[in-house]
Amino acid sequence: MTTRHFIIATAGHVDHGKSALVKALTGTDPDRLPEEKARQITIDLGFAELNLIAPNGDKLHAGIVDVPGHEDFVRNMIAGVGSIDLALLVVAADDGWMPQTEEHLQILTYLAVQRAVIALTKSDIGRSGVVTEQIRNQLRETVFACAPIVPTSVRTSEGLEDLKSAIASELAAMNPQRDYGKPRLFVDRVFTLRGIGTVVTGTLTGGRFRRGQNIMVQPQKLPARIRSIQSHGVELDNAQPGMRTALNLSDVTIDQIKRGDLITDSDLLASSTLIARIERSSRLRGKDPAGHPLKNGSSAYLHHGTSRVAARVTSLETDKLEPGQKTTAHLKLASPIFAFAGDRFVLRDGSEQHTIGGGIVLYPDSANHREPNQLKLLSVRAAAPDDVNVFVRSEIALRGFVSRTAVLNKSHFSASEISQALMRLQRDNEIVLCEEIAAARNLWQRMRRQAIALIDEAHKRSPERLGLELTELRAALRDQPQNVFDALVAELCTDDFVRKGPAIARTSHRPLLSAELRPVEAKIRQALSQKPFDPPSRREIESDRGARDVLRFLIESGEVIEVGPDAVLQREHLERVKARIAEFISKNGPATVSELRQALGSSRRIMVPLLERLDRDGVTRRVGDRRVLCTIHNA
């Protein structure tokens, strides 16, 4: 039977008994720092593990993150609850609902934690009945309204078994964290072990890591390799989502990596601007500093995963945001973060005293989506952040084109979920799929029509040419990204168009000289044949525009070969001169340029580039200042 893995984090006011409870449940004291022991307070995150049996007998394993309750360390608390399945919200029976109980509840809500078990601690000294009622009242309008409340005491051991069963029932009812093939581990600790090297720990989400895998430390894009993996002290080949994970990394030193960094397998760029849906809890009171209006352009701190970064927040819809309100906003970050659409975050004020809001990343890249239709698309996305169809459709509508790998990958959806959504949209005729590109149908058709018109125009303007130079087409469509352009050319070429060297043409197009160029053609042919191995230079032939066009036509049609920058030969003459050179060397042995030139009635101007070309083609080989035939031609 496989064990299902989950992550639990504590939450609650300072001194309410979170760490004591974790110790009583697991046997591990999560307070490990000397300063924590001395001050009897949790400062930084602590870790423990709990094995449980589900009501149906399944094995459950929970990594526990114990967070500090003190208001000075809310920053650490947020780092601990970023990717959890279940909150263990602790309220002391003697103290009741307190400011950080409230602040932590709001943080859990912003981070979209869906389930909680409430431990009513210190039941040996408190007023369990009154406080239970108070908790129920506080949770009434929240997702935790029906969460179990279990009175416990670590002094008398009352309720500890009940608490374990309550946790087990909650976890048993949950799906383990999703594996969408995009592993991310937000680093919460970095340390070095003698003889082992750099170790980072965190909670793994979104995908798996395996021993030996190459990874990327983001946002700095630092490549490294996973030398070994542990979870709660046990060596593993693989770590899966929802596991507390320790990675021993090669190629990184501890000064290159810190809490807040992210281990991922993606080398996509991190972003310094985001578009996000921001909301402010209606529980905030306007008269409290945390509830003051959030004015446009205010600075705040954005907490994402275990990272915290200064941000300038500008609503795209309103001047200021009051408690209970939501808006789509633009966030300019002081340093980049590696976020996905759908990621949750918390906002604290510039002084880092208060939690003022939170939200969801809608668009994890730079963009300036302020048009009403764009804002509408974003709010549709905000309303259904877990709907892959909504995500993909809005992404294509916002960007016009997307490349599957580069953009859709910054989401909480797997490659196959995205592919299926793309196929559905294609079936419904909303988009065009072409190689790596998915494009809004209207936009693609417009671009395609434009390209076809340009090609037809080129055929008409210069019927003697192969077609429209791709560089010319690219210049006309310069606003489109290169990969979109490449996809368009590829798509055109599946149909009525074809690539011919550097040009694109209608398949039906046959280059043809216009009547007025025919005499020029005859003249050039004659000039090239008069002294077949020593014809006039290209410059001489191209005496005017018409001659230039004709010569290019002859080159493109393959009748004339460019031997050097200024040297051209008719194809048949090139073949003949090649044969004569081979014959001469076979008969007389290795020959110099000037021997060959004299023997064949050619010139240095032709013979030097010609022999270089034959060297490149493997016909001749240079030995000193002589040419020999390559063995294959001797044979």
Ligand X SMILES: Nc1nc2c(ncn2[C@@H]2O[C@H](COP(=O)(O)OP(=O)(O)OP(=O)(O)O)[C@@H](O)[C@H]2O)c(=O)[nH]1
Residue 149 beta carbon to ligand X: minimum distance, rounded to whole angstroms: 15
Contact 412, 339 (CB under 8 A): no
Nearest distance in Å: CB 306, Mg ion: 18
Helical H runs in 93-224? 99-110, 128-139, 160-172
Q: How many CB atoms lie within 10 A of CB 556?
A: 18
DSSP class of residue 81 equals: S
Of 20, 262, 524, 568, the residue at the interface with ligand X (CB under 6 A) is 20
Rg, Å, the chain Cα set: 36
- Considering only 18, 244, 280, 330, the residue that binds ligand X (CB under 6 A) is 18
153 forms part of the interface with ligand X (CB under 6 A): yes
* 104 lies in the site for ligand X, by CB under 6 A: no
Q: In angstroms, how far is CA 511 from the centroid of its own chain?
A: 45
Residue 19 binds to ligand X (criterion: CB under 6 A): yes
As measured in angstroms, the least distance from the Cβ of 119 to ligand X is 9
Q: How far is CA 94 from the centre of its chain?
A: 49
How far is it, in rounded angstroms, from Cα 303 to Cα 67? 15
Q: Which does 14 bind (CB under 5 to 8 A by kind): ligand X, Mg ion, none?
A: ligand X
596 binds ligand X (CB under 6 A): no
Q: Determine if 60 is a binding residue for ligand X (CB under 6 A).
A: no
Q: Which is nearer to ligand X, 23 or 115 (CB)?
A: 23
Give which of Mg ion, ligand X, none residue 295 binds (C-beta under 5 to 8 Å, depending on kind): none
How far apart CA 6 and CA 113 sit, in angstroms, is 13
Q: Does 19 bind Mg ion (CB under 5 A)?
A: yes
Number of residues that bind ligand X (CB under 6 A): 20
Q: Which stretch binds ligand X (CB under 6 A): 17-25, 209-217, 242-250, 427-435?
A: 17-25
Cα(134)–Cα(132) distance, integer angstroms: 5
- Of the candidates 528, 536, 268, the one whose C-alpha atom is nearest the C-alpha of residue 410 is 268
Q: CA-CA distance, 255 to 257, in Å (whole number)?
A: 6
Q: How far apart are CA 561 and CA 558, in angstroms?
A: 7
From residue 521, give the alpha-carbon distance in Å to each of 78, 459, 517, 539, 632: 79, 19, 6, 16, 38
Judged by CB, which is closer to ligand X: 2, or 40?
A: 40
Does position 344 interact with ligand X (CB under 6 A)? The reply is no
Closer CB to Mg ion, 23 or 578, in the complex: 23
Tokens representing 204?
């793994």
599 three-state secondary structure: helix
> Residue from 29, 32, 70, 476 that binds ligand X (CB under 6 A)?
70
Of 110, 114, 97, whose CA–CA distance to 7 is shortest? 114
Q: Which two tokens stand for residue 37?
A: 């022991």
| 18 contacts Mg ion (rule: CB under 5 A) | yes
**Identity of the residue, 68 or 202, whose beta carbon is nearer to ligand X in the bound complex:** 68
Q: Which residues contact 340 (CB under 8 A, 6 or more apart)?
A: 182, 184, 361, 364, 410, 411, 412
Going through 501-573 in order, the beta strands assigned E by DSSP cover: 503-506, 560-564, 567-570
- Smallest gap, in angstroms, from Cβ of residue 98 to Mg ion? 14
- Give the amino acid at 225: R
327 interacts with Mg ion by CB under 5 A: no
Instruction: By CB under 6 A, tell whether 150 contacts ligand X.
Output: no
Based on CB atoms, which residue is closest to ligand X, 46 or 183? Answer: 46
Residue from the set 122, 182, 308, 509 that interacts with ligand X by CB under 6 A: 122
Closest residue by Cα to residue 226 from 207, 243, 255, 246? 246
| C-beta of 73 vs 209, nearer to ligand X | 73
| Choice between 39 and 518, CB closer to Mg ion | 39
Residue 631 interacts with which of ligand X, Mg ion, none, CB < 5 to 8 Å by class: none
Alpha helices in 31-119 (DSSP H): 34-39, 74-80, 99-110
- Residue 16 binds: one of ligand X, Mg ion, none (C-beta under 5 to 8 A by kind): ligand X
Q: What is the DSSP letter of 427?
A: H
Q: Which is nearer to Mg ion, 71 or 317 (CB)?
A: 71
Nearer to ligand X, 152 or 203 (CB): 152
Q: For the CB of residue 80, give the shortest distance to ligand X in the complex, in Å.
A: 11
* Among positions 83, 109, 121, 264, the unique one binding ligand X when judged by CB under 6 A: 121
Q: Are 100 and 355 in contact (CB under 8 A)?
A: no
Minimal distance in Å, beta carbon 156 to ligand X?
8
132 binds, options ligand X, Mg ion, none, Cβ within 5 to 8 A by partner type: none
Sign of CA dihedral 455, 456, 458, 459: positive
Q: Residue 202, interface with ligand X (CB under 6 A)?
A: no
Of the residues 17, 219, 260, 359, which one makes contact with ligand X according to CB under 6 A:
17
177 binds, among ligand X, Mg ion, none (CB under 5 to 8 A by kind): none
124 scored as a contact of ligand X (CB under 6 A): yes
Task: For ligand X, give the closer residue by CB, 36 or 279.
Answer: 36
- Nearest-5° angle of CA 114, CA 349, CA 89? 30
Spatial separation of the C-alpha atoms in residues 76 and 70, rounded to whole Å: 10
Helix, strand, or coil (residue 633):
helix
Under the binding rule (CB under 6 A), the answer on residue 8 touching ligand X is: no
Contact string 28-47 vs ligand X (x = CB under 6 A): ------------xxx-----
Among 37, 59, 155, 449, the residue binding ligand X under the rule CB under 6 A is 155
Sheet strand arrangement including 431-434: 401-403, 437-440, 431-434
Choose the one of ligand X, Mg ion, none that binds residue 48, judging by a C-beta under 5 to 8 angstroms depending on kind. Answer: none
- The yes or no reply on residue 76 touching ligand X (CB under 6 A) is no
CA–CA distance, 395 with 439 (Å, rounded to integer): 10
Per CB under 6 A, 101 contacts ligand X: no
Chain positions 20 to 79 lying near Mg ion, rule: CB under 5 A, are 42
> Which CB atom, from 46 or from 219, has the smaller least distance to ligand X?
46
| Total Cβ atoms within 10 A of residue 514 | 12
Does 68 bind ligand X (CB under 6 A)? Our answer is: yes
Work out whether 154 is an interface residue with ligand X (CB under 6 A).
Answer: yes
Of these partners, ligand X, Mg ion, none, which one is at the site of residue 355 (CB under 5 to 8 Å by kind)? Answer: none
496 vs 434, 455, 489, 521, 556, CA distance in Å?
16, 11, 11, 30, 20
**Interacting residue ranges for Mg ion, rule: CB under 5 A:** 18-19, 42
Site residues (CB under 6 A) for ligand X? Answer: 14-20, 40-42, 68-70, 121-122, 124-125, 153-155
